Structure 1
Amino acid sequence: MYALVDCNNFFVSCERALDPALEGKAVVVLSNNDGCVVSRSKEAKDLGIPMAAPAFKYKDLFKEHDVKSFSAKFELYNYKSQRVIDISRSYVLEYEVYSIDELFLELSGFKYIDIREYCLKIKNEIIKQENIPVSIGIAPTKTLCKVANRIVKEYPDQFDGVYILDTPEKIEKALKWLNIGDVWGIGRKLAAKMHDSGVYKAWDLLQKPEMWVRKIMGIHGVRMMNELKGIRQLELDAPSPKKSIAVTRSFMEMLTRKEEVRERVETFGMYCSEKLRRQNTCCRMVTVFVQTNRFRKDLPEYRNAITQILPNPTNSSILIGRVVNELFEAIYRDGFHYKKAGVIVNDFVPEDERLISLFEEDTQNQHLPVMKAMDAMNKKFGKDKVRLGSMSGKNTFERAILSPEYEAFLKNNTLPEANFRFH
């Protein structure tokens, strides 16, 4: 059996963990630049506030119903996510982190205990330690775990946050209830195609011949059918190193000064370097791009990108910063209003398996002790406490609605686990 631990309205729950007075009130969390709604409490959903709603369009509704809105605090959310993961994984031997607010637990070896009661202990422990409510769906396959989890969220009072699909009768009843568009892995376009063929519920899909499913969805569809039948097709995945790393941002306002854009681009290069060191790899290729606001038809448009192959693989912030600066000089043009820029690194090699050029100076090993020391200090004292001189430390985008409770929290806590960046 698998269990899916899913945090309820995770970003909102983190806000309520900071300020319990928000409990029972309509709360929304806003995206970068406080632009769109990225998380809603049940009370906010009941007011008809949709996901990804532009905040400025709902200002009047927020004011009328006293909806509390907050800027996203991804440092805090990532920290809370790690705490939920740590508590959950302490109960099992194998697990898979699926997203910032979801993880799968392997329960196949738990044959002589009450699995539902065991998962209730996990749920209660998370509430007790972190004040984050979770829903736990238990089933023989990962896809059915998603179904069980949806049932828990639909009927929270009925199942006390935990539901188990452990019999054919329960599975059949659940699949006859679940809309085909809500099945894990089926999007809107595929759901519309299913509707055209008379498949409206998940159960309807199981009544179709395998050849039909294979024709419509390929081998992915056959695996999905087996998962819905309770035949395990998807195992737990171990996290693997990334094959490319990109740090790209849209700016709060359009930038026209060259040095402002340069500082942002060089900072993005530094963050790529940090991520490379975190997974103990070096890159051999660096790409830099800049672009104007394509929605401003009244302004001249410009976009460009350039890539350079490095003679020696590196993860040094100093070396990558120099390359990024050279590439930026090659593509920057005066007279434009820049809205977005980014740095992408790829073609990785393990840090201890670097092949270097005989004809190029290799300073990676000279920089490595400094880089490691800088990373260690930032992990201990908080992000960007130690940084290179070219980094301003200022945000690329704005978070204007930060609660006093969060400011107080930051004064008394460092967040060493927080890997999300806001520059």
Structure 2
Amino acid sequence: MKILSPFSNMYALLDCNNFFVSCERTLDSTLENQPVVVLSNNDGCVVSRSNEAKALGIPMGAPAFKYKDLFAEHRVRVFSAKFELYNFYSQEVMKIASKYVMKHEVYSIDELFLDFHGFRYFDLEKYCIDIKNKIKVELKGLPVSIGVAPTKTLCKIANHIAKKEPIKYCEGVYIMDSKEKIEAALKDLDVGDVWGIGRKLNAKMMDNGVYKAWDLLQKPEIWIRKIMGIHGVRMINELKGIPQLELDKASPKKSIVVSRSFMKMVTNKEEIAERIETFAIYCAEKLRKQNSCCKVISVFIQTNRFRKELGEYKDGFSIVLPNPSSSSIVLAKYANSIFEAIYKEGFHYKKAGVMVSDFVPDNERLINLFEKDVDSKHIPIMKAIDKLNSKYGKDKIRLGGMSGKNTYGRAILSPEYEEFLKNNILPEANYRFH
């Protein structure tokens, strides 16, 4: 049997390439090899770019209105974010990749750590290529890169190399399986690109003559402790190939938040109230989906912090419910009462949100003997609404206070995708973007 690594155990980081853009390309094959960007909530900023768009100098986070002329000049295809689609593909990628290992950690919507402990006698390169090809075939060509190394920090670097040199690593897989490879990678990597080193710390490193990740390893431990504390010592060990970070288990959600920045500042009280009620109802839907109830509901509103001349105001508070609830009717009612208490006339509001917290399983609800329990009457109705919306499309059946408008402020969605959602082709994701 072939032993690929002198290290006893290895990890892998699977990362979806230009994820949002790649998801767009699964819907439209003509987008291949074309400059494509995806915009944030309210179509404000660029949050995903194809390699062709990057080559045009379009930076991440670029305000869309400032690059409008460049988009037109170079025929850049611009899309509103299809959050439901990205959530769906994220879950499918995780589902496929996780079947290849005993342990994994979902790090972000487009990143997944895989634990290759016990795989020492496997041909890991071939194994990772199999994972990559499986995802590509099952998910309409969705591209991923995989970096393998003895620590999670080195996995980040290995994945970076696989993406940085796609021609050299045409399979999109790089195995950092020797001390020589680690040393070469660290000598080439800017210290600011090391996982865990932010902008301020990077500036401090540069001031002390630390320009590359390899330079950091040459510093004495006493200096590392002084500048970075125990976190720095762990980082150094990770860079040396000594694992310090194990895979994290997914922890149960402690709260659910639905919040949005409005496309335009809002002064109409009824319009904000409708959004608050809608957000509360979405929280209730998510609670029922995970078979939970909440004990606490919170609401907040705030003005535009970048327009101080219009007046600044923000407020919010929480209510402890008399009985744990997942009823859309109950949560909308209490959200509205909080909104009435915190709303002030005369301001231009930019953002609002609702949060529910302190969860209990719905089959373990303890009812207050001195309070009427209305959930028992509402739940059959709620389940019927959920079932109908699952069959005919989101918000087909809704409470009277909801307008039915989308909460993301997305203008650049194709009629085909709107129909796609209405027909419920995509299953509801386990989380939303906020």
TM-score class, shorter-chain normalisation, is over 0.9
Q: Matched residues in 1 for 2:51 and 2:208: separation?
A: 34
Q: Matched residues in 2 for 1:411 and 1:263: separation?
A: 22
Q: Which segments of 5 or more consecutive residues in structure 2 lack a partner in the other structure?
A: 1-9
Could you say which residue in structure 2 is the equivalent of 1:159? 169
Could you say which residue in structure 1 is the equivalent of 2:224? 213
1:247 to 235, 247, 258: 258
Q: Matched residues in 2 for 1:256 and 1:338: separation?
A: 6
* Contact 2:392–2:422, Cα closer than 8 Å, also in 1: no
TM-score, normalised to structure 2's length? 0.91
* Contact 2:256–2:283, Cα closer than 8 Å, also in 1: yes
Kindly provide the amino acid, as one letter, of the partner of residue 101 in structure 1.
D
Could you say which residue in structure 2 is the equivalent of 1:319? 330
C-alpha deviations, 1:357-377, integer Å up to 9, x for none?
Answer: 332223334433443444444
Q: Which segments of 5 or more consecutive residues in structure 1 lack a partner in the other structure?
A: none
Q: Does residue 1:64 correspond to 2:73, yes or no?
A: yes
1:347 to 319, 340, 358: 358
Q: 1:181 to 1:123 in 2, by over 3 A?
A: same
Q: For residues 79-228 of structure 1, what are the structure 2 equivalents within 5 Å? A: 79-130=88-139, 131-160=141-170, 161-228=172-239
Could you say which residue in structure 1 is the equivalent of 2:417? 406
Q: Matched residues in 2 for 1:211 and 1:100: separation?
A: 37
1:280 deviates by 3.7
* Contact 1:82–1:417, Cα closer than 8 Å, also in 2: no
C-alpha deviations, 1:194-253, integer Å up to 9, x for none?
Answer: 112221111122222223222222222121111111111111112111222221111122
Q: 1:317 to 1:42 in 2, by over 3 A?
A: same
* Contact 2:316–2:342, Cα closer than 8 Å, also in 1: yes
Kindly provide the amino acid, as one letter, of the partner of residue 155 in structure 2.
C
Q: 1:410 to 1:394 in 2, by over 3 A?
A: closer
* Contact 2:294–2:360, Cα closer than 8 Å, also in 1: yes
C-alpha deviations, 1:51-110, integer Å up to 9, x for none?
Answer: 100111111111111111111111111111122112212222221111111111111122
Could you say which residue in structure 2 is the equivalent of 1:29? 38
Could you say which residue in structure 2 is the equivalent of 1:48? 57
* Contact 1:32–1:398, Cα closer than 8 Å, also in 2: yes
Deviates more, 1:259-268 or 1:249-258: 249-258
Could you say which residue in structure 2 is the equivalent of 1:4? 13
2:273 to 262, 269, 276: 262
Identity over aligned pairs, percent: 69
Q: Does residue 1:39 correspond to 2:39, yes or no?
A: no
Q: Matched residues in 1 for 2:415 and 2:276: separation?
A: 32
C-alpha deviations, 1:287-345, integer Å up to 9, x for none?
Answer: 21222333334534433222222232223222211111111111223333322211122
Could you say which residue in structure 1 is the equivalent of 2:339? 328
2:307 to 291, 296, 302: 296
Kindly provide the amino acid, as one letter, of the partner of residue 359 in structure 2.
F
Q: 1:371 to 1:405 in 2, by over 3 A?
A: closer
TM-score, normalised to structure 1's length? 0.93
Q: Matched residues in 2 for 1:365 and 1:214: separation?
A: 57
Q: Tell me, what secondary structure is at the counterpart of 1:66? A: coil
Q: For residues 354-393 of structure 1, what are the structure 2 equivalents within 5 Å? A: 354-393=365-404
Could you say which residue in structure 1 is the equivalent of 2:3? none
Q: 1:271 to 1:408 in 2, by over 3 A?
A: closer
